Amino acid sequence: MFPVLDARDREHMRRFGEVRRFHDGECLVAAGQPTPGMIVLFEGRVLLTRRDGLGHSIPIVEEGPGQFLGEVAQLSGRPGLVDAHAVGEVEALVIPPHRLRALLVAEAGLGERVMRALILRRVGLIETGAGGPVLVGPPECPGRVRLEGFLSRNGHPYLALDPEQEGEAAALLERYSPRAGELPLVVCPDGSVLKNPSESILARALGLLPEGAFETLYDLVVVGAGPAGLATSVYAASEGLRVLVLDQRAFGGQAGASSRIENYLGFPTGITGQALTARAFVQAQKFGVEMAIPAEVASLRRDATAVLLTLELTDGRKVRARTVVVASGARYRRPALANLDRFEGRGVFYWASPIEARMCDGEEVVLVGGGNSAGQAAVFLADHASRVRVLVRGRALAASMSSYLIERMAASPRIELMMETEVVGLEGQDEGGLQRVRWRHRTDGHEEEHDVRHLFLFIGADPATEWLEGSGVVLDANGFVRTGAELREEPLQAELWEVTGRAPYLLETSLPGVFAIGDVRAGSVKRVGAAIGEGSAVVAQVHAYLASVAALESRRAGTHRPTGPVRPGEGLQQA
């Protein structure tokens, strides 16, 4: 976590930064404020402390010559999470974010040691909550659960305080007197207090959204930060493209919420979805990918030149791009229960993370679903709940769940599998949340009602493609995006394809320059490995499209214009 670089390492770093001097007591880095980048100490010492919005300041470590300040936030120029003050006179090399990324790529061996330290420091900050906001509210408070999920899934440190257990938290509630619906209070590192903010408002307060992103023309914008989108961004940025990734919730997608993936190649002991996608998230930033999370896309349009694309966000801001990759995945499916929305976040959940597991420790829970996600969640929750009832509408699991999960569920004494059973009713109170669940046995119509405070729904997902309405991107009957050969029977916008002189590439949609990969694509294999494979493959087709546009513009400058028939499905086969 705190390696010491020798004189040779420091000399190699000189060309990437600028040497500066700091006086005794001077602040090099302030929590919550933009940082100049990574700081390599040549002379003198620096004290690192962690501070929260409540005024606490606790020493972390004192670093000296050969050591460096920074963690993964410095890869993208995001605000610092700790305070750093000079102890005596200090001489240091300041490496700005874009030069730090260049260092990591150019100096492979040195870059590996630096990157490992940056990652481990972020892990340490997450474990202690250092530099993040303080959430004040009861553990079962829906707003607190929502924001904890947002921060944890985005790898951002935070502290959560229960006013029933913490005197400071109780004092804050007394001071601000929040009304119903205003919990949790969120105390930001700068001391400002927010009342039950949205994820977007909190992200802005923490400096997580790159404001400059909306003034830039990108080579590629990726919509969705799941495995497919992250793979696309890593490969595209490593090959020199200017890339922006947008996601409305968190990086990782549905895979990021998986408690353990055991059949992904190269991880014989398994890996959590959060760990797998967090590595990809950091890797993307290493190559200069810009991340805007949360940022929800409302629409996609092609401009009058038929070359540039514009994505409008739900807050009215716009992003311009030469190409777009649709990797928006799918949204969790909601069963047709009359009062379901009343209990969402108050006992009804669509994923099972450590936050939800903590809430149902020692209690009985009901889980609905028969796919791999349901099996992984059931096994995970069985380590915390006293009993996990798994309700499945079908007669058997073999067609929808991997055999290793079926065997593991059968071996657990805490898991009760109930086939041909469905939930038909929920009861509870607005303040107390879910209290009872009623289900029906489909074989004989018999119904049962039990006291259950936690219901987990894993009944599949619908494609997140509403934002493509009116864009010219063709969808199938179920809302999935058609690409390449899937477009064979679809009438294309002839004028757009005639000017390109070709047919759609294999992963390209009916709109030139717009591609679709992963779960959102019609005919795709709904697996993490397949999504990552498509994410890497689509980059070759993006390059081919950009080259074809450049050639077209070159021809437009002359007299030749391409002509000829367009045959959907005959794209860049070699890609």
Report d(CA 60, CA 125) in Å as an integer.
Answer: 10
pLDDT tens digit sequence for 233-263 = 999 999 999 999 999 999 999 888 888 888 8
Q: Which of 125, 69, 92, 90 is nearest to 17 (CA)?
A: 92
pLDDT tens digit sequence for 349-370 = 998 989 999 999 999 999 999 9
Show the tokens assigned to 297.
Answer: 């896309």
Kindly tell me the burial class for residue 35, based on how many C-beta atoms sit within 10 Å of its own C-beta (0-12, 13-18, 19 or more): buried
For position 264, what pLDDT does the model report? 87
For position 397, what pLDDT does the model report? 93
Q: HEC profile for 486-503? A: HHCCCCCCHHHHHHHCCC
Report d(CA 483, CA 506) in Å as an integer.
Answer: 6
Phi, psi of 175, rounded to the nearest 5 degrees: -70, -45
For position 294, what pLDDT does the model report? 95
User: CB under 8 Å to 117, separation ≥6 — which residues?
Assistant: 1, 2, 3, 68
Low-confidence ranges of the chain (pLDDT < 50): 559-575
In order of 117, 195, 200, 252, 283, the CA distances from 176 in angstroms are 40, 9, 22, 35, 41
Report d(CA 45, CA 483) in Å as an integer.
Answer: 57
For position 571, what pLDDT does the model report? 42
- Where b means 16+ CB within 10 Å and e means fewer, 149-187 reads bbbbbbbbbbbbbbbeeeeebeebbeeeebeeebbbbbb
Q: Residue 355: which H helix or E strand, with range?
A: helix 354-359
Residue 117 and residue 3 in contact, taking contact as beta carbons nearer than 8 Å: yes
Report d(CA 417, CA 74) in Å as an integer.
Answer: 48
Phi, psi of 451, rounded to the nearest 5 degrees: -75, 105
For position 495, what pLDDT does the model report? 66
For position 564, what pLDDT does the model report? 40
In order of 72, 190, 452, 515, the CA distances from 426 in angstroms are 43, 42, 9, 41
Q: Which of 271, 315, 306, 317 is nearest to 494 (CA)?
A: 306
